[in-house]
Structure formats: C-alpha cells, structure tokens
Amino acid sequence: MIQILLPLFLTLLSIFSGIYIAYYVYIRNRIRRPWGLRIDGDFEPSVSIMIPVHNEERSIESKLKNVKDVGYPKEKIEVIVVDDASDDETLVKARTFIENNPDLNAKIIRQNPRAGKSAALNKALASSMHSIVVVSDADTYWPPDILGKTLPYLADARVGAITGRGVNRNATQSWVTMGEETYLNFAYLLRLGESKIHSTTRFEGGFCAYKKEAFEKFDCETGSDDSGTALEVVQRGYRAVLVPEAVFYTEFPTRLVGKLKIKARRANQLIGLYVKCMGFMLKGQLCLPRKIAVAQTLLFILNPVIFMALIVTSIAMIAISPLSVFSLVILMFIATVFLFARKVFLEVFFDNLILSYALVTFLFGKRYVTWEKA
C-alpha cells in the first residue's frame, strides 16, 4: 500500500505547490510592467456613492462622516444609503446624521423584505443620478484622497470598473488577524498582476467604482455583488482593475470562528464566480484572458481538492506505517514548517480547508445571498 500512496503523495504535493509557485512567479513578473492606460489626473466626474447596510447602527454615523470628509467637490457627490431591512437603529441614526448635515447630498432608500446586498444595490442603482457609481461597505474607512487618486483610472475608455485594497487596522491583534494579513498580501499581488495583464475579478466591497455603461446590474446570481459585477464588466468588453492607490481600512475578526464564518461565505461566492467563468470559457464566450481564468480555476477549485487528497494520503501512510522513514519525515516537515513559517502554514491550511468546505456547499446548492456580521 505504501508503494502506491508514496508516489501519489509526492505527485499531489508537486502539483499543489507547483500551481502556487508558477502563478506567483508569473504574476510578479507582470507587476513590474507599465499599465498602458490613459490615467488622467484632471478627470473629476460626478459620482453616486452607495452605502449598503443591514444592522449597521454601530458604524453608519462614522461611515457617513467619513464620506462627508472625503476631499472631493461636494457638488459632485451624491450619497445613497440603501438599507436591506435593518431591524436595529441604523435608519434612525442615518436620518439624524443627514438632517444634521444638510451640506451632504444624501438620501436613504429602503428594501423590505430583506433580499440581499446585490438586490439592495440594484435598487440604489435605479435611483442614482450620476454615470459613475461607487460602492463602499459601512464598516470600512476611506482616506480623504481616495476618490482623487483613483477615479483618474476611469478616464481611460477601456476601464469599466476599479477596486481597492483592504488593510486591516487590527492586523497584529491575534494570530488569526496576522494570518489574514499574510493572505491579503498574497491576494494583493495576484490581483495587481491580473490587473496589469488585463483584469481582476476579485473586487472588494470596501471600495468599488463602476461606469454605468459597463454593466447592467449588480450580480445576484453568485451573491458576490463586487466580484460578480466585475466579471460582467469584463464580459462587456471593459477592463476591471485594482488601483494600488485605492487603500481603505477595515477590521477583521480576531477569533477563528469569525474568520471561518466570513471566509466560508466569501469562498462559496467566489467558487460560484469561477464556475461561471468556466462556463463562459467552455462556450468560447469568456472575455477574461484564459491565463487568468485557468489559473484561478486551478488555485481555487483544483488545489483545494488536491489539498484534501494530500491530507487523506498523509493520514493513511502514517496510520499504516507510523514508524516508517516517510511517516517520520512528514511529521518532521510539518513541525518544522509550523515552527519557522507558522503564519504561512496556517493560512494555507485554513484557506484550502475553507475552499474545500465551500466547494462542497456549493455543489450541494448552498448560496449566500444576504450578508451577516461575524
């Protein structure tokens, strides 16, 4: 049995690590290349800023103040708070802030009964006045210059959407947040490299800006209002890019349960997105470069399957022959990596475990349409 399991384990490990290393090296090389875009610093369009909320009584006032303090011409900003059936004091606090700040051109739209973030955003989209809409989650913080630094990328007629990079303000608070920081840094490199090649479909809800002409509605199919909509933008012949200057701040759960809850939902949505990409690719209709789409499929669908197979074969070999040289080598390798590269090891372990779980839930028909607090 060992004669079968050992070659299988080594093959799986080579494929698993090879996918990561090959795409990482390729992306690092692409990041160094110029954008090739017409980035116009004088481009200053009017924008509709949409803030989707559900039970955000703790953050809605600070979010509205944050948007009000953004260094952008006030006459060019329309703020839309779109509520998805909150049952706390979110609406009361939002109305009070708007009444006390008449210089902020803001309004509230309510969706009831609850239908999810994408549906709420589509309701706000229908009432927005300007040709560019910007979406930001209520629990994120923008630097004052974020619009001035990022909207110039939309001056290029080929760019239909832009997104930003979330930075955790509590990155050093626990081993959970430190591990998430490792993941965010890796994801940032991949998203930036994909943007330099053509587009990234992994958008973040803290900051997304879209040209209305580049999409019809926010994606309700996968439950991913940001990334799913970015894919639609790409399918309409535009580019969707990560702007390095678009940095926003948020906080991540400090406990493992909160991390798993957030990432399982997000992983399920992203798997739906990649399955959708595969469908377009098989039909010859995908506008996203295949080198990006295939790599994403390998990283986020194939690799988690290989990861689970690695765990099963490792356990089987150790159980069959616990004192064999190979079993001892596996245990020593895991102990060494855990000791000297703990953050990377744990993040790779948990991310692939979450992706595996999300893949199973997706195959059994689970979809995350509404959003909840961790």
Sheet holding 47-53, edge to edge: 106-111, 77-84, 47-53, 132-135, 208-211, 159-168, 239-250
User: Pairing relation of β-strands 77-84 and 159-168?
Assistant: unpaired
pLDDT of residue 370: 61
CA distance 288 to 328: 45
pLDDT of residue 222: 76
Task: Assess whether pLDDT exceeds 90 at residue 342.
Answer: no
Task: Assess whether pLDDT exceeds 60 at residue 239.
Answer: yes
Element housing 209 (H / E): strand 208-211
pLDDT of residue 213: 96
CA distance 108 to 102: 14
Task: Assess whether pLDDT exceeds 80 at residue 130.
Answer: yes
CA of residue 123 relative to chain centroid, distance: 22
* Model confidence band, residue 321 (pLDDT cutoffs 50, 70, 90): confident
**pTM of the predicted model over 0.95:** no
Average pLDDT over residues 139-151: 96
Q: Which residues pair with 211 in a beta bridge?
A: 132
* Model confidence band, residue 2 (pLDDT cutoffs 50, 70, 90): low
* Model confidence band, residue 6 (pLDDT cutoffs 50, 70, 90): confident
pLDDT of residue 114: 86
pLDDT of residue 335: 80
Task: Assess whether pLDDT exceeds 70 at residue 373.
Answer: no
CATH class label, 1-374: alpha beta
Contacts of residue 341, Cβ cutoff 8 Å, sequence gap at least 6: none
pLDDT of residue 369: 65
CA of residue 50 relative to chain centroid, distance: 18
Closest to 138 (Cα-Cα) out of 225, 47, 203, 64: 64
* Model confidence band, residue 365 (pLDDT cutoffs 50, 70, 90): confident
